[in-house]
Amino acid sequence: MTTPLPAALDAALSELLGDGWLTDADARRRYGEDNSRRYALADAVALPGTREQVQAIVRLCREHRVPIVARGSGTSSTGAAIPYAGGVAVSFERMNRILRIEAGDRYAVVEAGVLNSELQAAIAAHGLFWAPDPASADVATIGGNLACNAGGPHAVKYGATRDNVLGLQAVTGTGDLIACGSVTTKDATGYDLTHLLIGSEGTLGLIVEATLRLLPKPPRRASLRALYGDVTQAAAAVSRVMAQPVAPAMLEFMDRACIRLAREVGGADIPDAGALLMIEVDGEHETLPHALEAVAAAAAGEGLIALDEAPDEAARERLWSARKSLSPALRTIAAGKINEDVVVPVSRIPDLVGGVEKMAAGFDLPIVVFGHAGNGNLHVNILYDPQDADQTARARAALPRLFELTLSLGGTLSGEHGIGVAKRDFMPHAFTPATLAAMRAIKHALDPDGILNPGKVLPP
């Protein structure tokens, strides 16, 4: 239960923001939800239009000890944008300007509320792209990408968000504006606060501006579809593909249930198989055929049923569209879904997939696996009927087993979704007490009163 906002804070922020200060019940509910299907009521919603307004919001909330939860489009699946402690939900939807595109130096400066897809469209005219391409790119904001270090299928070759940001400006929990990084691709000056803030889920500062590293669009790309008899054989093929010198631009994995969904719900033309790999290679016109041949040779091996090249760009897009539809399509199997994005070393993917198959049998639940196999980042979806108490209990019991398996294979709890509240209590299994203490010390230094997204990432 939350307490009403102090009248003085309400009055000050109403005067500061005008129609960007929302206190009606509908707004408090809408801005208290995210894609995790969790929600809590914010006490009010702030829609700042400038960094100075963000600073004022933080300083006023700090003065009154009121929590702040920053949010973009609410695509988080971990509850990271839920205002469980009430307070003010700060949405960056009005800070949505692309400030500069410097094509010659290959960088862009943007505000936090710019949509990923809008940025990609703007820089495509310069023959450039920004590497992070999460499935939610059409609606996800750059600020949200930064908050959870978003990745996407092309991260296998081009890196996730953290690998493609040159600098940031952020407002700390004291209301101070800090600037870190630079517009250069090499910088050995001082502590790397840029990479520290990325992935911190709004617990260390509110990112208001980012300088993003851009890349030239490759002139050609080609796609392969490899079908295998079972998931273990496909997982072994992933290891072979990643062990050879040619880096695929995309390497996606689907198990049998995903193939069926891609066909029946996504409309993809895919024969029945135990597992599938989607492999994309990009590069110059002269070198692409050789790269494709090398990747195809690595994909071939035990259990391969068929290996086909997409005949044209339309076919490639249809296959990828079917892959992007998988997450929402899982609701056709079961109403309840626990979606985790664990990561293991690529060589341990066969062990992870095999272990998940045993878990599905042991807990008597459908567990569907797909994701960015080239990074070892697989989305493990535990499906259940939330109206069935026994199934719900088994699904919740399966989750710590999944994390235990992942960590035993040298993996980590999240590759791109972040921690939020969904995985917060498992952090002590992933880090030593001394490491968690160091994280808490950093949190205290940047947010001494603990008002920024309280209760997220770090366990109590």
Q: Model pTM?
A: 0.92
pLDDT of residue 1: 45
- Average pLDDT, rounded, for the chain: 93
Domain ranges of the chain: 7-91, 98-216, 220-327
What's the rounded Cα separation, in Å, for the pair 9 and 17? 12
Mean pLDDT is lowest, of 43-52, 239-248, 326-335, 347-356, for 326-335
pLDDT higher for 38 or 405?
Answer: 405
Q: In what order do the strands lie in the sheet with 220-228?
A: 304-309, 220-228, 275-283, 250-255, 367-372, 377-384, 336-343
Give yes or no for residue 334 having a pLDDT over 90.
no
* Mean pLDDT confidence for 183-194: 94
- Residue 367 CA to residue 369 CA, distance in Å, equals 7
Pairwise CA distance, residues 16 & 311, whole Å: 57
Residue 435 pLDDT more than 80? Answer: yes
Q: How many CA atoms lie within 13 A of 414 on its CB side?
A: 23
| Cβ proximity of 110 and 208 under 8 Å | no
Please give the average per-residue pLDDT across 120-125, as a whole number.
Answer: 97
Question: Mean pLDDT, to the nearest integer, of 105-116?
Answer: 97
Q: Where is average pLDDT lowest: 67-81, 116-130, 303-317, 320-334? A: 320-334
Q: In this predicted structure, which of 306-315, 336-345, 348-357, 426-435 has the lowest mean pLDDT?
A: 306-315
Q: What is the pLDDT of residue 310?
A: 82
For 98-216, CATH number?
A: 3.30.465.10
pLDDT at 328 exceeding the cut of 80 = no
| pLDDT tier at 3, thresholds 50, 70, 90 | low
Q: Note the pLDDT of residue 398.
A: 96
pLDDT of residue 270: 84
In tens, the pLDDT along 56-100 reads 999 999 999 999 999 998 888 888 999 999 999 999 999 999 999
| CATH (one of 3.20.20.30, 3.40.50.300, 3.30.43.10, 3.30.160.270) for 7-91 | 3.30.43.10
Distance CA 98, CA 95 (A): 9
Residue 36 has pLDDT above 90, yes or no: no
pLDDT over threshold 50, residue 164: yes
Fold equal for 98-216 and 220-327 = no
120-134, 191-205, 301-315, 439-453: which range is least confident on average?
301-315
> Considering the chain, what percentage of its residues have pLDDT values greater than 90?
81
**Right CATH number for 220-327 from 3.30.70.2190, 3.10.20.310, 3.90.105.20, 3.40.30.10?**
3.30.70.2190
Higher pLDDT, 8 or 258: 8
